[in-house]
């Protein structure tokens, strides 16, 4: 998620609107007010103080201009959810991937702001009002039909571009199944979702993967669904955890020049083994950052991040891969974890 280095804010702060044309209009849409729990209220106030979005009104060049001026930091996108916000956040990020040509060089910067756990209409209206003041796009996933309708009507009333991500697909599935949706967000009080076998399978996979991290317990390699191997800092650990959360038991084995690889790596089913490689310049940059985070200054010399050593280690890994031609080699340079995981799973299931 793209961040914005703005000042802290309080959603209950009262400020004069940036433009009289978008000041709090009357009448407001009639909405059903939901009362949050005391724990939620405390969490919400703490979140409001720590957010990086400013609720100060943005000024316009001309008060008669109906458009809210967007600051140089980027066009805001508000994501509102009555749950964790995972669906809204990932949907927006997936869509932003279609505009990399514009975002990479900051030609059209965007700032995304997530508001999760919004189960109170009053707070929803405050967020929508601020979206109007900042000229933001509002994207929401609200399971409660009355909350979703309130958001829709408020956005229409105040001229805010908005998208309901959850509503259309929920309606389509309801029509297909011939069953009405519950209208309750995940984790809502009174909602009883039984823990499935798949849930426990994912928990078991995560526990297995953590224990097998960085070449630990090589005797268990045969029990893994997927085995990742590659030199240090090719993303084996985060990739392993990501795959584990999908229910796959993953082991990762680091390749270090001059260090013998565990015998078990060559004894497991070769269709389970996946090799990771990366551009040497990118790898050196990552390793330098890693060394700095560990407290090593620029003057401290270490083979770990020296270009000559990086190239030698990558060449050593390449020879290991060449000796095992059935192991697919995946280039991870510039790829997100999700992209690499998608490639691995496609090959794994094929």
The predicted model gives 234-238 an average pLDDT of: 95
Over residues 90-113, mean pLDDT = 82
> Smallest Cα–Cα separation from 117: which of 93, 138, 95, 141?
141
Res 143 pLDDT > 50? yes
pLDDT at 130: 95
Reading the block at residue 321, the tokens are 């891969």
Taking Cα atoms as reference points, which of 318, 292, 321 lies closest to residue 305? 292
pLDDT digits (tens, 9 = 90+) for 261-301: 999 999 999 999 999 999 999 999 999 888 888 776 655 55
pLDDT number for residue 189:
64
Residue 73's CB is within 10 A of a number of other CB atoms, namely 14
What is the C-alpha to C-alpha distance for residues 229 and 252, in angstroms, rounded to an integer? 6
Report residue 184: phi and psi, to 5°.
Answer: -110, 135
User: What is the reported pLDDT for 147?
Assistant: 94
Using 50, 70 and 90 to split pLDDT, how confident is the model at 73? low
Which of 141-155, 190-204, 244-258 comes out lowest in average pLDDT?
190-204
What pLDDT, on a 0 to 100 scale, did the predictor assign at position 105? 56
C-beta separation of 146 from 30 below 8 A: no
Question: What is the model's pLDDT at position 297?
Answer: 61
Q: CA-to-CA distance for 286 and 40, rounded, in angstroms? A: 39
Place of tokens 């790898």: 283
pLDDT value, residue 254: 96
Facing residues of 275 across strands?
229, 329
CB pairs under 8 A, 24+ apart, for 254-259? 254/214, 254/215, 254/229, 254/230, 255/229, 255/230, 255/231, 255/313, 255/316, 255/317, 255/320, 256/231, 256/232, 256/313, 257/309, 257/312, 257/313, 257/316
Percent pLDDT > 70 in the chain is: 74
Residue 211 clears pLDDT 80, i.e. is over it: yes
CA dihedral of residues 120, 124, 126, 131 (deg, nearest 10) = 170
* pLDDT confidence of residue 291: 83
CB 44, CB 36: distance < 8 Å: yes
DSSP state of 36: P
Domains plus CATH for the chain? 75-177 (3.40.50), 197-349 (3.40.50)
Q: Using CA atoms, how far apart are residues 8 and 43, in angstroms rounded to an integer? A: 15
270 Cβ partners below 8 Å, 6+ apart? 324, 326, 327
Please report where in the chains the tokens 């009357």 appear, as a residue: 26
Averaged pLDDT for residues 243-251: 96
**Does the pLDDT at position 22 exceed 60?**
no
Name the percent of the chain lying above pLDDT 90.
59
Q: What tokens does 45 get? A: 């106030």
Q: What is the overall mean pLDDT for the chain? A: 80
Q: Which two tokens stand for residue 106?
A: 């900051």
The residue count of the chain comes to: 350
| Paired sense of beta strands 162-164 and 273-277, if any | unpaired
Please report which confidence band the pLDDT of residue 98 belongs to, taking 50, 70 and 90 as the band edges.
Answer: confident
pLDDT tens, residue by residue, 312-338: 999 999 999 999 999 999 999 989 899
pTM, full prediction: 0.61
Tokens 């192991």 map to which residue? 327
**Which pLDDT does position 66 carry in this prediction?**
33
Dig out the tokens for 311 from the structure. 């190239």
Strand ranges (E), 11-156: 75-81, 110-115, 137-141
Sheet architecture: strand order including 329-331? 250-255, 226-231, 273-277, 329-331
Greater pLDDT, 303 or 21: 303
Q: Containing H/E element for 201?
A: helix 197-211
Cα 99 → chain centroid? 17
| Segment 1-22 mean pLDDT | 39
- pLDDT at 42 exceeding the cut of 80: no
Q: How confident is the model at residue 79 (pLDDT cuts 50, 70, 90)?
A: very high
């Amino acid at each position: 998620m793209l961040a914005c280095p703005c000042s802290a804010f309080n959603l209950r702060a009262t400020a004069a609107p940036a433009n009289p044309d978008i000041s709090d209009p009357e009448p407001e849409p009639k909405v059903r007010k939901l009362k949050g729990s005391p724990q939620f209220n405390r969490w919400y106030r703490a979140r409001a103080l720590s957010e990086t979005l400013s609720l100060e009104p943005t000024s316009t060049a001309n008060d008669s201009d109906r458009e809210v001026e967007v600051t140089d930091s980027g066009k805001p996108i508000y994501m509102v959810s009555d749950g964790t916000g995972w669906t809204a956040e990932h949907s927006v990020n997936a869509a932003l991937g279609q505009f990399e040509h514009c975002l990479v060089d900051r030609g059209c910067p965007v700032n995304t702001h997530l508001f999760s756990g919004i189960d109170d209409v009053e707070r929803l209206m405050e967020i929508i009002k601020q979206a109007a003041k900042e000229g933001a796009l509002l994207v929401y996933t609200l399971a409660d039909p009355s909350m979703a309708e309130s958001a829709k009507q408020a956005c229409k009333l105040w001229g805010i571009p908005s998208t309901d991500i959850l509503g259309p697909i929920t309606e389509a599935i309801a029509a297909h199944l011939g069953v009405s949706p519950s209208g309750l967000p995940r984790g809502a009080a009174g909602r009883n979702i039984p823990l499935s076998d798949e849930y426990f399978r994912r928990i078991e996979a995560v526990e297995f993967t953590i224990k097998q991290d960085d070449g630990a317990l090589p005797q268990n390699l045969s029990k893994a669904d997927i085995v990742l191997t590659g030199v240090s800092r090719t993303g084996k650990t985060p990739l392993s955890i990501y795959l584990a959360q999908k229910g796959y038991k993953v082991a990762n084995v680091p390749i270090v020049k001059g260090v013998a690889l565990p015998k078990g790596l060559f004894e497991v089913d070769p269709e389970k083994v996946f090799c990771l490689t990366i551009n040497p310049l990118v790898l050196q940059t990552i390793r330098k950052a890693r060394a700095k985070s560990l407290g090593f200054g620029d003057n401290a010399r270490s083979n770990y991040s020296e270009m000559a050593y990086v190239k030698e280690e990558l060449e050593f890994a390449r020879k290991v891969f060449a000796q095992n031609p059935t192991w697919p080699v995946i280039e991870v340079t510039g790829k997100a974890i999700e992209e690499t995981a998608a490639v691995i799973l496609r090959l794994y299931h094929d």
